[in-house]
Amino acid sequence: MKMNKRGEFLARDYVIGLVLFGCVALLLFVIIADQAQTYNVPNVTDDNFQSRYDTLTNATSDIYRMQNATTSSEGLSTTSTFTFLFKSTFSIISLVFGSLSLINSLFVNFAQDFGVPSIIANIFFPSLLLIIIATLIFIVVSSVSQGKI
């Protein structure tokens, strides 16, 4: 078994670093938006920039459409013996998509009980959840591949 050198960065370190960098960048965007509102500057971004990069609503609608597609029975009406397998697989996928929003809302509500603003809670708690999930995925992949990833 080959041992890694001390201080060597692994793939999971880069992923966690990117998530933390994204949190800091989002926090800076929130600060800029708050300053724009405080000093009554209505349009901070260029319209061309906003039309190209403001795609969060499109991604959210795609995720909800995938969730609805997995919960509906369209396209799953096969008459073979695999019908049960398909329906149970899509039910599990539907539960996973539904649980992500549930966990996020629980974290945000918990943070708001302690006085954390919702915009800050919506940045840091999903990022914390993403770091935990990424770490678990890398641990499982590392244990299956018998090496450090």
Handedness of CA 98, 142, 18, 51 (dihedral sign): negative
pLDDT value at residue 64: 75
Q: What is the pLDDT of residues 89-125, one digit of tens each?
A: 777 777 777 777 777 778 788 888 888 888 888 888 8
3: in domain? no
Tokens of 95: 């539960």
32: in domain? yes
User: Nearest-CA neighbor of 11 among 147, 149, 135?
Assistant: 149
C-alpha–C-alpha distance, residues 149 and 16, integer Å: 13
pTM above 0.85, yes or no: no
2: in domain? no
C-alpha–C-alpha distance, residues 140 and 40, integer Å: 50
Residue pair 24/124 in contact (Cβ under 8 Å)? The answer is no
6: in domain? no
Q: Which domain holds residue 49?
A: 11-72+82-145
- How many domains is the chain built from? 1
Q: What is the pLDDT of residues 18-49, one digit of tens each?
A: 999 999 999 998 898 888 888 888 777 667 77
Handedness of CA 26, 32, 38, 44 (dihedral sign): negative
